[in-house]
Chains A and B, each alone.
Chain A
Amino acid sequence: MSQEKQCQCAEVQEEELYPRLEEVIMEHRGKGQDLIMVLHKAQNLFGYLPKKAQEMVAEGLNVSLNEVYGVITFYNFFSTVPQGRNSVKVCLGTACYVRGSQEVLDKAQKELGIKVGGTTEDRRYSLDVVRCIGACGLAPAMLVNEDVYGRVKSPHLPDILAKYE
């Protein structure tokens, strides 16, 4: 299947989720104080918060879109870009950092062509940083989905990433 076709597929699916978001909003109509709860549900639905969903939430809860976006950009949990099929998380906790995880992160950004918080165009990878995953003994450490990689050096990255479709 061509990439283009995959993309259209994803969009069609996303379009189908809006009526479900509308149902969620109906339960909280006009209740600005429920904003974070509704955003949570919306993100669970879409995997991220598309602009149209933000506008629907703003309209439905009677909150300014500018405030909605402010709340989304404040909390790390919320994302305004679609998440990739594989989540790459580089640890920048103290132990990992002193053992050179910044270099790993720089390499990951270069390799994937995205910045922290971004998703590759083919939605294969999302890149984020975390602060300590409890694997300090393996520093520098990183996570891909549920898999922990320890003592990572930047030249290892292409091989690690290639394992994930």
Chain B
Amino acid sequence: MTISVVIDGRPLEVEEGTSILDAAAQANIHIPTLCYLPEVQAIGACRVCLVEIEGNRTLQAACVSPVAKGQVIYTNTDRVRKARRFSVEMLLSNHPFECLSCAKNLHCDLQTLAYDLGIREIRFSGEKSGGRIDESSPSIRRDQNKCILCRRCVTVCQEIQSVTALYMQGRGFETRVEPAFDRDINDVACTNCGQCSVVCPVGAITEKEYIDEVWAALSDPTKFVVIQDAPAVRVALGEEFGYPPGTLVTGKMLAAARRLGFDRVFDTNFAADLTILEEGTELLTRVKKGGTLPMITSCSPGWIKFIEHFYPELLDHLSTCKSPHMMLGALTKTYFAAKSGVDPKDMIVVSVMPCTAKKFECNRPEMYDSGYKDVDYVLTTREFAKMIKQAGIDFQNLPDEKYDDPMGEYTGAATIFGATGGVMEAALRTAYEVATGKVLENVEFTAVRGLEGIKEATIPVEGIGDVRVAVSHGLGNARKLLDKIKTGEANYHFIEVMACPGGCVGGGGQPIPVNNDIRLLRAQALYSEDCALTYRKSHENPSIKKIYEEFLGQPLGEKSHHLLHTHYTPRSKF
């Protein structure tokens, strides 16, 4: 049912229950917000979205106030402007003014608001509540001095990810966002997914930067520096340079990497194709030989840490495959080293990932199978953009370049890894053909696409019967599936889990902001690239056939086992 309201003199018909904030947006009236986060949190805590309602004594927070029939609302009166400004001034009175050296400089919601609201002086000063800098994690850096207590990180961690690694501790002036007992974030059950860093409106939670380390490697003439990038990076990086979300900038990204000084540019997609062969073979083996089912994908390191902490008894369900960029790292320092004659001890492998969890992953003790650290540094999409800017590269006017051989060729199946459901779809394309020996005509499994939290499908496969699969994204949804496995309700063969909502396109290292519209646009760009590619099934990739012939032998063979597979570590839920 719709009701009539008047906002700033404009009569509107809106659905009952709509918030004033959303109703105003329908009339193209922008109400500033700070703690509000679409799809995640509306709590009216920051008092920035205040509006005046005729007949109401006090101003109301637009994000939590539903419209009422006949309401007359003003979003831009003197009183409203003063109140909003006052709210932000109070936050600033407790904020360290380190804007020029802050990692979020020019990407800070508080900074933008202070500017938009016309704050030209800091009227209030006094003791600041302060806080500590927590650099314990290889993925996340927390500077509690900058925290404005908006709770976005707490809500995303609790409600979306069901992890609750952070919570509001203490009361009043002493309130802070910390784990229990004010432990370091690296010492508690944090998955390193980085969703907190995506939603933090200020510089209180950011990724741990490794930009300087990578510059040092690039400047060192004795080092041979290899870069690889994940599929989700190429559909989001452009946003940092003014392109609309969902613009595919692969060619320019590769040109930028070469101008930064990288010696080789490989594609994580190559290893995604390899993952499909290894994981697909593993699945078929488990089905035929009665191994642990359902088998669950293992490409998302945030997800891996989640199951290690919260469901260690289910670790046997995980595929033993390393994530694609770790496979590529191990192969760069073995296969490529042998082919190129470069000594692996002089190699530095840098992964550009949409992900903060991969920073932790590359430091795991299991990830030294090449005899060296398989991947030396992980940069997020955001950090890579910063390097391009630091180098003064005119991104928009770069030519389009291509990946290097022998690990630059990829199929459409690999590129869709970046979207939720993509690994499943890629696996089904190959598993079907390997299991039946027949050509799969329609390669698009649309049932596993899209942003529904948990997607299910049943695919009849000749010789095997019905293959039941499920796909989840966001760790809260993973938890639901794992609970079903524990109670025996989940009779799937294969499950894809991605830690971040939307899959890697919505990863913790991606350009900010992220919302469902942006996630869909980025995913759509991946599906478009898939359509446009000659090869759309991983096992058709000529470079993959070659690496098995020249080096690996066969999927799950001895070399694969050594370089491409791993094991997991049970961890405490505290």
Contacts and interface: CB of A to CB of B under 8 A. Distances in A.
Contacts of B181: 51, 69
B41 interface: no
The residue among B165, B180, B574 with the most chain A CB atoms within 10 A of its own CB is B180
A69 B180 contact: yes
Nearest to B188: A66
A110 to B, nearest CB: 22
Contacts of A67: 158, 164, 167
A76 B167 CA distance: 17
B170 interface: yes
Interface string A63-87: 0111111100111100000000000
A67 B574 CA distance: 11
Interface string B149-168: 00000000010000111111
Contacts of B179: 66, 69
Contacts of A54: 180
Contact of B167 (A51, A70, A75): A70
Contacts of B574: 55, 58, 65
A68 B180 contact: yes
B311 to A, nearest CB: 13
A64 B158 contact: yes
B164 A74 contact: no
A68 B180 CA distance: 8
Interface string A123-163: 00000000000000000000000000000000000000000
A55 B178 CA distance: 17
B171 interface: yes
A51 B163 CA distance: 20
B540 to A, nearest CB: 46
Given A55-B574, A58-B574, A74 B180 contact: no
Contacts of A51: 181
B190 to A, nearest CB: 10
Given A58-B574, A69-B180, A74 B171 contact: yes
Query: Is the contact region of chain A dominated by helix, strand, or loop, or is it mixed?
Result: helix
A108 to B, nearest CB: 20
Nearest to B162: A64
Interface string A16-48: 000000000000000000000000000000000
B169 interface: yes
Contacts of B165: 64, 66
Nearest to B175: A74
Contacts of A55: 574
Contacts of A64: 158, 163-165, 167
A76 B164 CA distance: 23
Contacts of A76: 171
Contact of B164 (A59, A66, A73, A75): A66
Contacts of A69: 167, 169, 179-181
Nearest to A51: B181
Given A65-B574, A68-B180, A74 B168 contact: yes
Contacts of B158: 64, 67
Interface string B61-105: 000000000000000000000000000000000000000000000
The residue among A51, A66, A74, A76 with the most chain B CB atoms within 10 A of its own CB is A66
B170 A73 contact: yes
A76 B180 CA distance: 16
Contacts of B171: 73-76
B426 to A, nearest CB: 34
Nearest to A59: B573
A76 B168 CA distance: 15
Contacts of A74: 168-171
A74 B174 CA distance: 10
B166 A66 contact: yes
A69 B169 CA distance: 7
B571 to A, nearest CB: 14
A65 B163 CA distance: 10
A70 B176 CA distance: 9
The residue among A58, A75, A76 with the most chain B CB atoms within 10 A of its own CB is A58
Contacts of A58: 574
Interface in B516-574: 573-574
A73 B181 CA distance: 10
Nearest to A54: B180
A34 B500 CA distance: 30
Nearest to B164: A64
Contacts of A75: 171
Given A55-B574, A58-B574, A66 B170 contact: no
A36 to B, nearest CB: 14
The residue among A68, A69, A76 with the most chain B CB atoms within 10 A of its own CB is A69
A68 B167 CA distance: 9
Interface string B180-203: 110000001000000000000000
A65 B181 CA distance: 9
A153 B2 CA distance: 68
A73 B167 CA distance: 11
Top 7 A-B pairs, shortest CB-CB distance: A64-B164, A69-B180, A70-B167, A66-B167, A66-B180, A73-B170, A65-B180
Interface of B: 158, 163-171, 178-181, 188, 573-574
30 contacts: A54-B180, A55-B574, A58-B574, A64-B158, A64-B163, A64-B164, A64-B165, A64-B167, A65-B180, A65-B188, A65-B573, A66-B165, A66-B166, A66-B167, A66-B178, A66-B180, A67-B158, A69-B169, A69-B179, A69-B181, A70-B168, A70-B169, A70-B180, A73-B169, A73-B170, A73-B171, A74-B168, A74-B169, A74-B171, A75-B171
Given A66-B180, A74-B168, 7 more contacts: A55-B574, A66-B164, A66-B166, A67-B167, A69-B181, A73-B169, A74-B171
